[in-house]
């Protein structure tokens, strides 16, 4: 299920970018079925939060650009990037860039989404659920 506001936002991008974005969004939903999905207009991205008890915490995002889509991780610098696929020079956020549909079919993506969730939970709450 996609929010009309999110779909309207995605429609401003080329068709390939829309498809890549939707595929990545679906993968986040598969890995975290009760995920909270929100469009952040100012950041031009779709953000994902999960619940820990009654509190939510932000862990990932899908950010479309004209030529690629970033699957981003809020605490990416603290994740174990054993495959060396994370990019970015920031102090906190790291991303995986997807330029074509095949990039969204890489089997490790769901593992990285799950690790982003677990890493954010540990940082925010100091324990595993």
Q: What is the pLDDT of residues 88-123, one digit of tens each?
A: 999 999 999 999 999 999 999 999 999 999 999 999
Q: Which pTM does this prediction carry?
A: 0.94
CA 58 – CA 37 distance, rounded (Å):
10
Q: What is the pLDDT of residue 53?
A: 86
Could you give the strand order of the β-sheet that contains 45-52, starting from the edge strand earlier in sequence?
36-40, 45-52, 55-64, 69-73, 94-98
Q: Which domains does the chain have, with CATH numbers?
A: 4-125 (3.90.1150)
For position 129, what pLDDT does the model report? Answer: 46
**Close Cβ partners of 38 (under 8 Å, ≥ 6 residues apart):** 46, 47, 48, 49
State phi, psi for 93 to the nearest 5 degrees. Answer: -90, 140
Q: What angle do CA 127, 28, 105 make, to 5 degrees?
A: 125
Q: Which residues of the chain have pLDDT under 50?
A: 129
């Amino acid at each position: 299920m996609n929010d009309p506001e999110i779909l309207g936002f995605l429609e401003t991008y080329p068709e390939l970018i829309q498809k890549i974005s939707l595929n990545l969004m679906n993968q986040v939903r598969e890995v975290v079925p009760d995920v909270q999905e929100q469009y952040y207009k100012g950041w031009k991205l779709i953000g994902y939060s999960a619940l820990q008890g009654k509190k939510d915490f932000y862990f990932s995002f899908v950010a479309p650009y004209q030529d690629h889509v970033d699957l981003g991780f809020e605490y990416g610098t603290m994740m174990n990037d054993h495959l060396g696929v994370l990019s970015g020079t920031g102090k906190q956020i790291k991303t995986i860039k997807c330029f074509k549909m095949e990039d969204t079919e890489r089997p490790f993506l769901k593992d990285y989404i799950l690790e982003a969730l677990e890493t954010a939970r540990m940082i925010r709450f100091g324990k595993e659920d």
